[in-house]
Amino acid sequence: MEILLMSLAIILGCTVFYLFHQQRNLHRPPCISGWIPWIGAGFRFGKAPLEFIEQARIKHGPVFTVFALGKRLTFVTEEEGFDVFFKSKEINFEHAVEDHIYRTVSVPKSIFLTSHGLLYGVMKNKMKISNLCQFSEKLVEGLHEQLESLGTDGSKDLYNLVRHALYPVTVNTIFGKGLYPTTQENIQEFLKHFQIYDDGFQNGGQIPECFLRNWSKSKMWLLNLLEKSIPDLEKNETLDDLTVMQLIANTLRPRAKQDKVPNYAVLMLWASLSNATPVAYWTIVYVLYNPSVYENIMEGISSVFGEAGKKKIEISENDLKKVPLIKRCVLETIRLVAPGMITRKVIEPVKILNYTVPSGDMLMMSPFWIHRNPKYFPEPELFKPERWEKANLEKNAFLDGFVAFGGGKYPCPGRWFALLEIEICVALVFYKYQFNLLDPFPKQNFNQLLGVQRPSTPCRVEYKCRK
Ligand code: HEM
C-alpha cells in the first residue's frame, strides 16, 4: 500500500513538474535542438549558418531559439524585435562579446568590461563625421601611392588589388606610419597571418585554441608585431592630431591596463581591415558587372575631376557629394553583403512578440537576412543603387531596415570613416584604370557570420592605366 501511495505521489509530482515546465516553455520561442547533448543543433547550424537561419525562420516564425554548443541563441528576424534588440535595458552588448574578445585577443573579461565604454567613446569621437576631413587627404595621398606601385598595366585578382591598395593606407591612417611592412617579403608574411587570423576569427571565439593551431600561431604573430611596433607608434605624437591607436593607448595607460594595448591594437587592426576591404572589392565588382551603372559613375567622375586619367587628383568630401552615385553604390553593396549576425546578451527576461526570452540567452539579429526582406527592400536580390535616392544621405540617414553597422548604444564607431575610405578608393580606381573582366561574376558563398561576406571564387581582371 505504502509503495503504491509513494508511486502515485511521484507520478503526480512528475506530472505537476512537467505541466509547470510546459507552461513556462509555452511562452518561450520555439527551440531547435538535436539529440546529442550540449552539441544540440551545432553541426547543422555550423555547416551553413545563414541558410539554416532562413529555413528556421520560414518553419518557426519570426522569433526562434537554436540550441548549439551549450548555448541558447535566440533569433529576432522582424521589426517587432528590433527595438528590443537595440534599445532594451534587459539586453547588453558587452556581455555578449566578452567571451569572444577574450578568446580572439586575450583581453580578460574584467578589463574589457571596465574599459569598453571609455574606449568606445574615444573611437566614436575620433572618427565622427565632423572629423573626417582629418583623414581624407591622408587617404587620397596613400591610395595614389599604392595604385601607382601597380604599374601602368597588368592582370591581378581584384580582391588582391583592393587589399594591396587599402590595407597599407588604412593601417597608416589608423595606426600611423611604421606598422605596415614595406618590403615585399614582410608584406607577404603580414598578409598570410592576417588572412589566417581573419578567416578563423569567428571560430576562434567558439572553439578551444588547441584545435586551431594555425590560427593561434597567426594571432601570436600579430600580437608580437604590435608589441614590437607600439613604442615607436606612440613616439610619433603630435599633440593635436593623435592617431586612433595613440588615443586607445592613452585611454588604457592611466588605468594600469597598459600591457593590454597590443591586444586592443590587434582587435582594432581586425575591425579596420576586415569589413571595409571586402566592401570596396564588392562595390567595384557590382559596378563593373552593371555596365549602365558603370557608365553613369564614369560620367559623374569626369564631370567633377575632369576626364579620367593619370593626374594626381585631390578628392574632398565635397567632391564626393557631387557624385552621389558612388555612395549609393557603396551602400547598396553593403546591403547585399552585410554581416551575417550581430549579437547581444539577455541579462533579464525580456518580452519579444508573445514570447519571453530568458536571461542568459544570446540574442541574434542577421543584417544579411533583414536586408533581403522585400518588406524593407523590394526586389532585395537585385543591385539597385537607385533605391538609395530615397535616403537622406546629405543628413547621413540610411534607409529604414538598414542595419549593417549595428545600432543602439554601440553601433560601429568606424562607419563614417569606412564609407569615406571606400568611396575614395572606388573613385580613384575608376578614375585611373580601365578594366577587362576575365572571370564570370564571383561566386557568393554567403556563410560569414561575423562581418561582411567574402568571395569564394577569384575575379581576375586586366587593368590598364588611362592616358
Ligand atoms: C563597411 C565596413 C564596416 C562594417 C559593415 C562594419 C560593421 C560593424 C558592426 C555590425 C559592428 C557591431 C555593431 C553592433 O553590434 O551593433 C561593428 C563594430 C565595430 N567596428 Fe565596424 N564596420 C565596418 C568598418 C569599420 C572600420 C573601417 C572600423 C575602424 C576604422 C571599424 C571599427 C569598429 C569597432 C572598433 C567596432 C567595435 C565597437 C565596440 O566595441 O562597441 N569598423 N562594425
Question: Number of C-alpha atoms within 13 angstroms, CB side, residue 95?
Answer: 14
User: What separation in Å is there between the alpha carbon of 220 and the centre of ligand 1?
Assistant: 23
| 31 annotated ligand binder | no
Task: Return the ligand 1 atom nearest residue 407 CA.
Answer: 16
Kindly report, residue by residue over 352-397, the tens digit of the pLDDT: 999 999 999 999 999 999 999 999 999 999 999 999 999 999 899 9
Domain boundaries, the chain: 100-340+407-465
* pLDDT-wise least confident of 197-211, 298-312, 420-434: 197-211
Question: Number of C-alpha atoms within 13 angstroms, CB side, residue 164?
Answer: 18
User: What separation in Å is there between the alpha carbon of 270 and the centre of ligand 1?
Assistant: 10
From the list 76, 68, 34, 30, the residue with the least C-alpha distance to 49 is: 68
| 14 annotated ligand binder | no
- pLDDT of 21 reads 52
User: What separation in Å is there between the alpha carbon of 416 and the centre of ligand 1?
Assistant: 10
Task: Return the ligand 1 atom nearest residue 422 CA.
Answer: 1
- pLDDT of 207 reads 76
Asked if residue 280 has its Cβ within 6 Å of ligand 1, the reply is no
* pLDDT-wise least confident of 209-223, 268-282, 450-464: 209-223
Kindly report, residue by residue over 71-108, the tens digit of the pLDDT: 999 999 988 889 999 999 999 999 999 989 988 888 99
Kindly report, residue by residue over 13-58, the tens digit of the pLDDT: 655 555 455 555 559 999 999 899 999 999 999 899 999 999 999 9
pLDDT of 185 above 70: yes
Per-residue confidence band for 132, with pLDDT thresholds at 50, 70 and 90: very high
- pLDDT of 462 reads 98
Per-residue confidence band for 308, with pLDDT thresholds at 50, 70 and 90: confident
pLDDT of 1 above 70: no
Asked if residue 412 has its Cβ within 6 Å of ligand 1, the reply is yes
Q: Which CATH superfamily is domain 100-340+407-465 in?
A: Cytochrome P450 (1.10.630.10)
Beta carbons within 8 Å of 375's beta carbon, 6+ residues apart: 401
CB 285 within 8 A of CB 336: no
Give nearest CA residue, ligand 1 atom 43.
Answer: 412
| 412 annotated ligand binder | yes
Mean pLDDT score of the chain: 92
- pLDDT of 245 reads 95
pLDDT of 148 above 90: yes
Which phi and psi angles does 342 have, rounded to 5°? Answer: -125, 155
From the list 217, 185, 225, 186, the residue with the least C-alpha distance to 200 is: 217
Give nearest CA residue, ligand 1 atom 13.
Answer: 406
